[in-house]
């Protein structure tokens, strides 16, 4: 039996999305950079897991990103 | 990786300016979108810049930048320079009037200790509209939804660079309405 979200839950999701985005927008620039770094690391992990599980290989540009980060540490 | 590394990148850009390698620069692309609005996943930091002397060709325009990178020991390829762990893409802007204006009129944003030029929201919209890839329209839509644009300023830029017609044609993408 399929479950379709009701109008109220969709509205609630949209409301929460607006609050979250508004919060992110209000952060100072350096905090946004910090969040971006976290986002990059999470995204790379997703790509790496996908590759490990036999999916598409990590794109070349993301490999370059990884190498650059490793060289800097 | 921490934000201190990012401040080091800004310091290097300032050094390039005071050293006469570049005349002016401004952060653009998805990184500028992150600073104006919310973080967007991107691997690189786009730096639009103008040289002190106009280059004879696009290829020559990066020569001084690459010489600088070599001298400082930053690794680089045809696309990026690795500056303290950030992949920086330098885009010489003198051949494009929209890019030039975007640098000249960039917003100045306080980032840590630095006053950093960041291409303004409305110029970013015009640049993305001109590029016209799916990911560019997505970024335009996010800005539109965030309601952070000065529409009068945007209209002026689109008019000046002959993009008003394209904007009218493509702005249906910004709404969920059929």
pLDDT digits (tens, 9 = 90+) for B28-66: 999 999 999 999 889 999 999 998 777 666 666 788 899
Question: Residues with Cβ < 8 Å from B45, sequence gap 6 or more?
Answer: B9, B27, B29, B31, B86, B87, B88, B89
Closest CA to B91 of B24, B136, B158: B24
Asked whether the beta carbons of residue A64 and residue B87 sit closer than 8 angstroms, the reply is yes
B76 reaches A (C-beta below 8 A): no
Partner-chain residue, chosen from A29, A39, A68, that has the shortest CB–CB distance to B35: A29
Distance, in Å, from the CA atom of B14 to the CA atom of B112, rounded to the nearest integer, reads 14
Binned at pLDDT 50, 70 and 90, residue B102 comes out as very high
In terms of Cα–Cα distance, which of B176, B13, B5 is closest to B90?
B13
Looking at B37-150, list the stretches that DSSP marks H as alpha helix, in order from N- to C-terminal side: 58-61, 63-72, 97-104, 121-131, 134-146
Q: Is the ipTM of this complex over 0.95?
A: no
- Predicted model pTM: 0.90
CATH 3.30.460 positions along chain B are: 3-119
How far, in Å, CA of B111 to CA of B29, rounded? Answer: 17
Structure tokens at B107: 């917003």
Give the whole-angstrom CA distance, residue B76 versus residue B78: 7
* CATH class of the domain comprising B3-119: alpha beta
> Which residues in chain A have Cβ-Cβ distances shorter than 8 Å to B85?
68-69, 71-73
Beta strands in chain B (DSSP E): 24-28, 44-50, 81-83, 86-92, 107-111, 114-118
Closest chain B residue to the Cα of A40, Cα to Cα: B41
What's the confidence (pLDDT) of residue B97?
A: 96
pLDDT recorded at residue B98:
98
SS3 A51: helix
Looking from the CA of B159 toward its CB, the CA atoms found within 13 Å total 6
DSSP-derived secondary structure letter, B159: H
* Tens of pLDDT, residues A25-57: 999 999 999 999 999 999 999 999 999 999 999
Which pLDDT belongs to residue A9? 87
Q: Of the candidates B30, B32, B23, which has an alpha carbon nearest to the alpha carbon of residue B111?
A: B32
The reported pLDDT for the residue numbered B122 is 98
């Amino acid at each position: 039996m399929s479950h379709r979200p009701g109008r109220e839950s969709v509205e609630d999701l949209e409301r929460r999305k607006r609050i979250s985005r508004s919060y992110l927008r209000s952060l100072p620039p350096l905090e946004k950079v910090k969040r971006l770094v976290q986002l990059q690391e999470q995204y790379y992990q997703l790509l790496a897991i996908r590759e490990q599980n036999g999916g598409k290989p990590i794109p070349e540009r993301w490999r370059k990103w990884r190498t650059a980060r490793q060289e800097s540490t | 990786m921490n934000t201190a590394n990012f401040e080091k990148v800004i310091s290097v850009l300032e050094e390039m300016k005071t050293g006469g390698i570049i005349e002016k620069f401004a952060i653009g692309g998805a990184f500028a979108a992150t600073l104006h609005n919310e973080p967007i996943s991107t691997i690189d930091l786009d730096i639009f810049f103008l040289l002190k002397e106009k280059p004879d060709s696009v290829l020559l325009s990066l020569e001084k930048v690459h010489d600088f990178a070599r001298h400082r020991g930053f690794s680089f390829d045809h696309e990026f320079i690795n500056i303290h762990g950030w992949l920086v893409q330098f885009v010489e802007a003198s051949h494009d009037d929209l890019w030039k204006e975007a640098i000249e009129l960039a917003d100045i944003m306080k980032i840590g200790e630095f006053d950093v030029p960041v291409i303004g929201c409305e110029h970013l919209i015009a640049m993305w509209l001109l590029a016209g890839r799916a990911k560019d329209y997505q970024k335009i839509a996010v800005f539109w939804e965030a309601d952070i644009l000065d529409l009068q300023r945007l209209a002026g830029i689109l008019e000046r660079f002959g993009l008003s017609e394209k904007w009218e044609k493509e702005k249906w993408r910004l709404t969920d309405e059929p």
